[in-house]
Structure 1
Amino acid sequence: MKKAKTYKSDAFAAIHQTVSDMHEAGAVSKQTMRRFDESCLTPVHEFTPEEIRALRDREEVSQVVFAHYLNVTKESISQWERGQKKPAGPSLKLLSLVKRKGLNAIA
């Protein structure tokens, strides 16, 4: 199963797809492909507990509502905001998208 990729824009998605096809054909090296991944894909940022709380406050939603959008439990949001646990994987990607584009981007 392939992981869905989130691009900075539609233009970056088209560029990345073209270079990816060239990589599969052997015309682009693995190293060059990694550079395109870094430049075209939405960057993932490590969030501090304060940043997570500020992001939720900016979107004016409760922990329960925020958890629903991120497809995690309310307890996870609470633990992230207290620094007991850190978001990882898909949650980090979704938080990065919410930071850049707002909660409606993942609604």
Structure 2
Amino acid sequence: MSRMIDEALETMRGLHEIGAVNKQTLRDFETQCLPPPAYTAETIKRLRESLHVSQAVFAAYINASISTVQKWENGEKKPSGAATRLLSVIERKGCCRRSKSA
């Protein structure tokens, strides 16, 4: 798998060099090829707590069950690739929050 990813990256970089792919597309492609970060039980709990939300609210943010979040935080389960990427986005950008107006 790593060899295929390396070859795909090389191809995209070549396409960028000849002007067939712009810089943003190349950057997006390179980002997608990065392995997702590993999240431990502690880092997931810290992330949730940094957002000042309960497990139930955090589960709702990421469209997961409360038991899934509990199992992640207890170390019984690890997030899947898609969930890991979502956690990475939340870690970098935060969660959407409702405005206090209204």
> Could you say which TM-score interval applies, normalised by the shorter chain?
0.5 to 0.7
> Are 1:76 and 2:68 an aligned pair?
yes
Partner of 2:56: 64
The amino acid across from 2:81 in the alignment is G
C-alpha displacement of 1:103: 1.2
Residue 94 of structure 1 corresponds to 86
What displacement does 1:88 show?
0.7
Question: Which 5+ residue runs of structure 1 have no aligned equivalent?
Answer: 1-28
**In 2: Cα distance, 1:88 partner to 1:34 partner:** 27
Are 1:104 and 2:82 matched, yes or no? no
What is the total number of aligned residue pairs between the two structures? 76
- The alpha carbon displacement at 1:33 in A equals 4.5
2:77 to 75, 85, 92: 85
Q: Give the counterpart of 1:47 among 22, 30, 39.
A: 39
> How much has 1:66 moved relative to structure 2?
0.4
Change (3 A) 1:93 1:50: same
Task: Measure how far apart 1:32 and its partner are.
Answer: 1.6
Gap runs ≥5 in structure 2: 1-6, 14-25, 98-102
Return the alpha-carbon distance in structure 1 between the equivalents of residues 49 and 10 of structure 2. Answer: 39
Identity, in percent, stands at 37
Larger radius of gyration: 2
String of CA shifts for 1:3-23, please: whole Å, max 9, x gaps: xxxxxxxxxxxxxxxxxxxxx
- In structure 2, the CA distance between the partners of 1:104 and 1:31, relative to structure 1 (3 Å rule), is same
- Displaced runs of 4+ in structure 1, greater than 4 A? 33-36
Distance 1:102 1:31, change over 3 A: closer
Distance 1:65 1:33 in 2: 42
